[in-house]
Amino acid sequence: MAQGKRYKFQGSTFQIGVGYGASKNITNVTQADPAVVSVAAHGYSEGAVVLVEEVPGMIELNGNLYVVDDPASGTFELAGVDSTGYTAFVSGSPSGNVRAITFSDFCELTGVNQQDGTADEIEVTTICSNAKEFEVGLSDSGSLTLDFNLAPNQTVQAFLRQAKADGTDVAFKVTFPGDGGSLIMLGNVQATSFQGSVNGVWTGSATIKLTGEIFVLAA
């Protein structure tokens, strides 16, 4: 009998990007949909998360995290980024740089709750309408809530608190067991909290505002 797929929480991994790999020089970024970045011998694989900095000309890219898509020899795409309306890249020195995010396992994690956002409804009813009419507006990317056993000096938990204080983007990666593939999410830490009581352990939570689509990768 055929059965639907399911994946256990235990046996999955949940990782948070807490550091950076070596800096590599960017030699070009196209004004295209999607944007294509030229970096010699970048070595990035599908689904890698990178930080782009100091790009001359196309300053709209600077200081943000991006997911690598369709990597090839010397180039890769920035998933979901339409740069056709961005300022043109300026060749020369400095050339801009890119660094891959390094991930760390969040082993104190006890629960994950991702809530999708909603799209605005824009009323477009006119004198000739027989009922109210609407267009779909911009969509909210949603939120991510993490529950965990509190260990404030652990790398991931210290990083989440610092990311909230600094207002920096954070990358999150869920890898499912077996052939379940993985998910990549980007967002800002909005709040962290902790609580405890008698006959229990200290626990904490973090609320993240997602800043774009959730990227689904095959195993």
Residues 117, 45, single domain; the answer is no
- Of 192, 208, 181, nearest to 65 by C-alpha is 208
Domain coverage including residue 18:
13-103
Q: With cut-offs at 50, 70 and 90, classify the pLDDT of residue 153.
A: very high
What total of structural domains would you count in the chain? 2
In a domain, 123, yes or no: yes
Among residues 103, 135, 159, the one where a domain terminates is: 103
Average pLDDT score over the chain: 93
Record the tokens describing residue 83, joined without a space: 């740069």
Which of 44, 69, 103 is where one domain is finished?
A: 103
Q: DSSP letter string over 26-71? A: --EE-SSSS-EEE-TT----TT-EEEEE--SS-GGGTTEEEEEEEE
DSSP structure string for 81-135? ---TTSPPP--SSS--EEEEEEEEE-TTEEEEEEE---EEEEE---TT-SS--EE
* pLDDT band of 2, cuts 50, 70, 90: low
Apex 74 CA angle, 73 and 75, nearest 5: 95
Residue keyed to tokens 């740069």: 83
pLDDT digits (tens, 9 = 90+) for 47-80: 999 999 999 999 999 999 999 999 999 999 999 9
State whether 54 and 158 are in the same domain: no
Q: Does residue 7 carry a pLDDT above 80? A: yes
Looking at residue 1, what is its pLDDT? 58
Indicate if 74 and 28 belong to the same structural domain: yes
Residues 18 and 98 grouped into a single domain: yes
Q: What is the pTM of this model?
A: 0.90
92 and 123 fall within a common domain: no
Are residue 115 and residue 98 in the same domain, yes or no? no
Q: What is the mean pLDDT of residues 201-208?
A: 97
Can you give the CATH number for the domain in which 65 is found? 2.40.30.180
